[in-house]
Homo-oligomer: A and B are copies of this chain.
Amino acid sequence: MSVSNIGNNEKLIGVPGSRYQLNTPALILDLDLLEQNILKMADNCHHRNINLRPVAKIHKSIEIAKLQIKAGALGVCCATLTEAEIMAKNSIPGILLFTSVVTTSKIDRLVEANKQTKNLMVAVDDFSNVEALGAAACKAGKQLDLLIDFEIGGNRTGLNDEEMVVNLAKTISRTNGLTYKGIQGYNGATQRIPKFDKRKTAQKLSTKPLSNLIKRLTKEKLKPIIVTGGGTGTVDIDSEQGIFTESQAGSYVFMDVNYKDIPLNTTDPFPFKPSLYVQTTVVSNSKKGFVITDAGIKEFAREQFAPEISYGAPMDATYELVGDDLGRINLPRGTQNLPLGSKVECIPPHCYATLNLYNVFHCVQGDKLVDIWSIDSRKNY
């Protein structure tokens, strides 16, 4: 716990039953379930012979990054330079920044962060960017590791031309200050296809050009040491295929409504359990059939799915976001109203977008608040 802006719940740490006495809205993290998820994924990857470098944008937490690394992860993937800087400053090794850094002031920040940690890598998809990174790395006096971003679906970043990737790899290899490390191929669109077989087929189709690229690079004596991509939804599929050397899986630490009912393989389809919740309080029960809570769009982030109630309301009650800071629990016909002040916990629709709205995790074991952890790298400036 090293948080300057911790809120009003600190005095409840260690108090029996304190989980349900929090000032809300509050983000709850079940430490036992978190730990089970982290150990299970580490064990799974170990047995399936694929490395794990989990996406830290999912949790934005130095404490959780440390737990992942302790369990065997190579490091963490970061989505933004700010995330990477915060991880670097807190001695997290093996940081992969999976988007390009292109402006002068950010490139300066990147090579500074590189000096603070071991094995920082950044993705590139542009020749002029490689030149700028090389010059900055030389000036900073520390070699910078690069991965080439290869488009395998999603129409976002990355080159989609094999020839250009080969040329870019050659350029990196002969640029002072830079080390060519390998390839990134990520397709978010395949991760949450509900049926396992369909997801497997889609991911295989999506990674075919990547597989061809690797053969070609190998022939050109540019065999990638690292091939990274995939997520929680395809880690088992990816390990079977043998294309990726490592996975960027991340959502497995928390799970969410988006992910929790998606079978991840055929033998043990649901290995991970939701460990992240939003706790909310009933603030109005003046009418029949529903009550109003203090958690809305600002506390859950608007998504395709609704939050799923996990505690405090009858079965079949549903949760709706009805205001910036207001939720509505629609009660099944014939049930009693919930008392004013009563607590309801929900699984968020999307773990990442939700936790980004909070300052801290309220860490619980059973019904006790046991610690408060900062969400270290959540901030946009």
Report how far A287 CA is from B125 CA in the complex, Å.
10
Instruction: Report if A381-B26 is in contact (Cβ < 8 Å); known contacts: A4-B4, A188-B323, A324-B353.
Output: yes
Q: How far is the CA of A282 from the CA of B126 in the complex (A)?
A: 12
Report A9-48 CB contacts with B as 1/0, cut-off 8 Å: 1000000000001010111000000000000000000000
Q: By the criterion CB–CB under 8 Å, are A79 and B126 in contact? A: no
Known: A281-B102, A357-B380. A322 touches B155 (CB 8 A): yes
Does the CB pair B340–A129 fall under 8 Å?
yes
CA distance A281 to B105 in the complex (A): 12
Copies in the complex: 2
A126 in contact with B352 (CB, 8 Å): no
Among A68-76, A259-267, A295-303, the stretch that binds chain B is A295-303
- Is A292's beta carbon under 8 Å from chain B? yes
A interface, over-half SS = loop
In the assembled complex, the CB of A284 is this many whole angstroms from the nearest CB of chain B, namely 4
Q: What residues of B have a CB within 8 angstroms of the CB of A57 in the complex? A: 324-325
- Interface residue? A135 (CB, 8 A): no
Out of B5, B126, B323, B380, name the residue touching A358 (CB < 8 Å).
B380
Chain B CB within 10 Å, residue with most, of A8, A9, A380: A380
A6 interfacial contact with B, CB 8 Å: yes
A360 at the interface (CB under 8 A from B): yes
Interface residue? A66 (CB, 8 A): no
Size category of the A interface is: 35 or more
Q: Which residues of B sit under 8 angstroms from A282, Cβ to Cβ? A: 102
Stretch at the interface among A87-95, A157-165, A173-181, A228-236: A157-165
Chain B nearest CB from A319 CB (Å) reads 14
**Which B residues lie within 8 Å of A21 (CB)?**
105
Q: Is A290 among interface residues, defined by CB-CB distance under 8 A?
A: yes
19 CB-based A-B contacts, threshold 8 Å:
A7-B381, A8-B105, A8-B381, A9-B381, A23-B103, A23-B109, A26-B381, A100-B283, A100-B340, A102-B341, A125-B284, A126-B284, A156-B328, A158-B284, A159-B286, A160-B287, A324-B352, A356-B357, A358-B381
Residues of chain A at the chain B interface (Cβ within 8 Å): 4-9, 21, 23, 25-27, 57, 79-80, 99-103, 105-106, 109, 125-126, 128-129, 149, 151, 154-160, 188, 281-287, 290, 292, 294, 297-299, 301-303, 322-326, 328, 340-341, 352-353, 356-360, 379-381
